[in-house]
Amino acid sequence: MNTYAEQLPTDKNSNPLQGFPSPFPANASWTSENATTSSILNLGHDTTMVEVAAINTGVAIKWITSTNSSGSVVTAAGSANFDHVVPNATYRRFVVPRDTTLTQNPQSVQGVNRAEGLYNRLAIKSLGVSSVLTTEY
């Protein structure tokens, strides 16, 4: 299995620093104000990790497959389909998983996200009137 996600920051003795900010700048940042409806984020070609911050209320996220033409995250009882929940006033980092519906298509010029067959879309939705901050790495 290839190691495709960015490495954790390390101290001078090469010990991983758990819970520290990413040691590299973001590829892209998204802000969704009052994100009470599902929004789709298209991830960049070099995105292997995302960080989602919940402001004032929790956030639900769903990885959207390449074969899903509409895609959304649902939090209603009886029809919920979320993959992860980020609690209020916290953030979580996620390594972008492989999209098993994709057929890998190696090309000479492409980013690691596409080369590794990773999900390239993510749906987000706050669990109340709130903002969601998302960063791609």
Domain boundaries, the chain: 28-100+110-136
Exposed e or buried b per residue across 124-134, where buried means at least 16 C-beta atoms within 10 angstroms of its C-beta: bbbbeebbbbb
Q: Which of 61, 30, 35, 31 has its CA nearest to residue 47?
A: 30
| pTM confidence score | 0.83
- Dihedrals φ, ψ of 40, to 5°? -100, 130
Quote the pLDDT of residue 35: 74
pLDDT band of 32, cuts 50, 70, 90: confident
For domain 28-100+110-136, give its CATH number from 3.40.50, 2.60.120, 1.10.3470, 2.60.60: 2.60.120
CB proximity list for 121: less than 8 A, separation 6 or greater: 40, 41, 42, 43, 63, 64, 66, 71
Quote the pLDDT of residue 103: 66
List, for residues 40-86, the tens digit of each pLDDT value.
Answer: 999 998 999 999 999 999 999 999 998 888 788 988 888 899 999 99
pLDDT band of 15, cuts 50, 70, 90: very high
Q: Could you tell me if 41 and 71 are in contact, meaning their C-beta atoms sit under 8 angstroms apart? A: no
CB proximity list for 75: less than 8 A, separation 6 or greater: 60, 82, 125, 127
Structure tokens at 4: 């495709």
pLDDT band of 110, cuts 50, 70, 90: confident
Q: Which H or E element spans position 62?
A: strand 59-63
